[in-house]
Amino acid sequence: MHTFSLPTPGFGTYRLKGDEAKMAVENALDVGYRHIDTAQAYENEAEVGDAISASTLPRNELFVTTKVWFENLCADKFITSVQNSLTQLNTDYVDLLLIHWPSPEDKVPMSEYLQELKACKERGLTEHIGVSNFTQSQLDEALAILGKDHILTNQIEVHPNFQNKELVAYCQRNNIQVTAYMPLGVGKVMESDVLNAIAKEHDTTPSAVALAWLSHKKIVAIPSSTNVEHMRDNLTAKQMMLTAEEIEKIDAIEPQERIVDPDFAPDW
């Protein structure tokens, strides 16, 4: 069993670029985030690294996640790309290294890139390993390749408007923590009548309600924001206690719509 639990919420950096990315991460660390999530594909690892270096926090108090892009999955590119990420991030290791997307159309065999991922852990380039955007059948294959208890998390789209219930249940049954990206559904939660009504009862925001609901489900959230007030709200949301009735109302939200579905996505 994994005894390790991912720090939640983490701070997501998707779509943040340049100085905005650096400033956002600096502010996130200032208000109390300790888990920072980036990726090779976000093209902001250097700025995240600058923000981490500028911080007075000891490295062992931070939890840094990055992800290997699918163009780097083959054995001759994988470890070099990770070393490049570490250089950009200005750190000797990351805490969590993920496969960002399964190889489109299995161009690179899963056994090849998961062995590379495992090798990164064995070489001390990362403390933990995991995956992102993997379906149940892909997780079955990954577990067969790596064995139980190696995959710390599957980072997937989860928010009240897309609850991904079967995949979440599958992960949790198999001792794989679920990390929710886009936990606020790119702002769509703000339009939800259900979340707005519950927020009113608690004198808070629909975003905070969405994050409290994820926390109740034991799902790690990585909201992104450039607004310091929102960062603070997102950080404290997990302390909110929702009633069983409120949870049921959120569980019943319709319609359920996936936001992230690029042309290279697996067959969901």
Task: Read off the pLDDT of residues 115-155 as tens digits, 9 standing for 90 and up.
Answer: 999 999 999 999 999 999 999 999 999 999 999 899 999 99
| Number of other CB atoms surrounding residue 85 within 10 Å | 26
Rounded distance between C-alpha atoms, residue 95 and residue 109, angstroms: 25
| Number of other CB atoms surrounding residue 128 within 10 Å | 20
| pLDDT beyond 80 at 177 | yes
Closest CA to 28 of 224, 207, 239: 224
CB-based burial, 92-112: b 16+ in 10 Å, e otherwise: ebbbbbbbbbbbeeeebebee
Q: What is the CA radius of gyration of the chain?
A: 18
Task: Read off the pLDDT of residues 178-225 as tens digits, 9 standing for 90 and up.
Answer: 999 999 999 999 999 999 999 999 999 999 999 999 999 999 999 999
| pLDDT beyond 70 at 170 | yes
pTM: 0.97
Which segment of 20-24, 29-33, 215-219, 236-240 scores lowest on mean pLDDT? 236-240
Structure tokens at 175: 């001792």
Task: Read off the pLDDT of residues 11-25 as tens digits, 9 standing for 90 and up.
Answer: 999 999 999 999 999
pLDDT band at 98 (very low <50, low <70, confident <90, very high): very high
Torsion of CA 200, 206, 210, 216, to 10 degrees: -20
Give the active site residues.
42
- Domain chopping of the chain, boundaries: 11-185+218-226
pLDDT band at 4 (very low <50, low <70, confident <90, very high): confident
Query: Which CATH code of 3.20.20.100, 1.10.510.10, 3.30.565.10, 3.40.50.720 fits the domain covering 11-185+218-226?
Result: 3.20.20.100
| pLDDT beyond 90 at 2 | no
User: For the chain, what percent of residues have pLDDT higher than 90?
Assistant: 96
| pLDDT beyond 70 at 1 | no
